[in-house]
Amino acid sequence: MKAIQFAALFQPLIISCLGAPFESRATNPTTYCTPTDSCWPTTAQWSAFNSTLGGKLIKVIPWSSPCYALPGPFNSAQCSAVENSYNDGFARESVFGSAQSLNWESCGEDNCWLQTKLPALGGFQNLVCKQGRLASFAVNLAAPTAAQDIASTIAFAIAHGVKLSIKNTGHEYLGRSTGQYTLAIWTYNLKDMTVQTQNPLNGGGPTITIGSGAVARDVYKAAGDAGYSITLGAFGSVGVGGGFAQGGGHGRE
């Protein structure tokens, strides 16, 4: 089979390399706002922002929160569904309130993990499901309005001093797709792909143009269906756009 190259299309995004939890503006005015600061957007401001996005704003909750009694309530059916797919990378990629590596869901001891099998009723009795390193809110981008929504999200974050994070599937060894108290841009649903047998930008050779939410499983299939081979990550749930499409390896997902 012929090899195929990428012609990846990306919207301009502000990338934040996220480390340890950052200080509040209450103690350092040069840092970002947190929910305990007066500069943090009010419920009404988040709601108005959501309206400008056509309802694409997600209030992030940890994936396994239905398994905890607090803030609860514990939901047996929802908890079982999470338990049954908890170690499935494909399930994790489709849920914003998770990461592919559990350590990037946690801030110190703050987490919402399923560390043991749960009792039939009550979840983790008297234990609190905490947000950990997960973003506070996320914007679920859709192809028709992605560019406009990205611009609106960046403007809102700047206006309110809220830190941005960017996530596709959550495969991110350095934890840059998670971040406590951030407003996240979620690219996962931007999956458009086009294979061209001849592209002048590639010396007349074949290319595949992908959305920034494309994952390896789908790109492998699109290339294979067109009669080409392609080199990507080791797992089908790994997002492609952050690194491999640009000639690298580990990227921001």
pLDDT tens string 3-59: 555 444 333 333 333 443 444 455 555 589 999 999 999 999 999 999 999 999 999
Mean pLDDT of 72-95: 88
Tell me the pLDDT band of 96, cut-offs 50, 70 and 90: very high
Say what the pLDDT of residue 19 is: 42
Reported confidence tier of residue 253, pLDDT bands at 50, 70, 90: very low
Give the model's pLDDT for residue 89.
87
Q: What is the pLDDT of residue 10?
A: 36
pTM exceeds 0.85 for this model: no
Residue-level pLDDT at 162: 96
pLDDT at residue 4, as a whole number: 52
Pairwise pLDDT comparison (249 vs 21), residue with the higher score: 249
Mean pLDDT in residue range 102-111: 84
Residue 139 has pLDDT above 90, yes or no: yes
pLDDT(122) > 70: no
pLDDT at 245 over 70: no
Determine the angle formed by the axes of helices 146-160 and 43-52, rounding to 10 degrees.
160
Least confident of 40-44, 124-128, 188-192: 124-128
240-to-169, 184, 236, 253 alpha-carbon distances in Å: 10, 19, 10, 8
Q: What pLDDT band is residue 185 in, cutting at 50, 70 and 90? A: very high
- Averaged over 181-191, what is the pLDDT? 94
* Cα(216)–Cα(50) distance, integer angstroms: 31
Residue scoring higher pLDDT (184 or 230): 184
CA 147 to chain centre: 17
With a cut of 70, say whether residue 116 has pLDDT above it: no
Q: At residue 173, does pLDDT exceed 90?
A: no
Mean pLDDT of 185-191: 94
Is 70 exceeded by the pLDDT of residue 177?
yes
Instruction: Report whether pLDDT(199) > 90.
Output: no
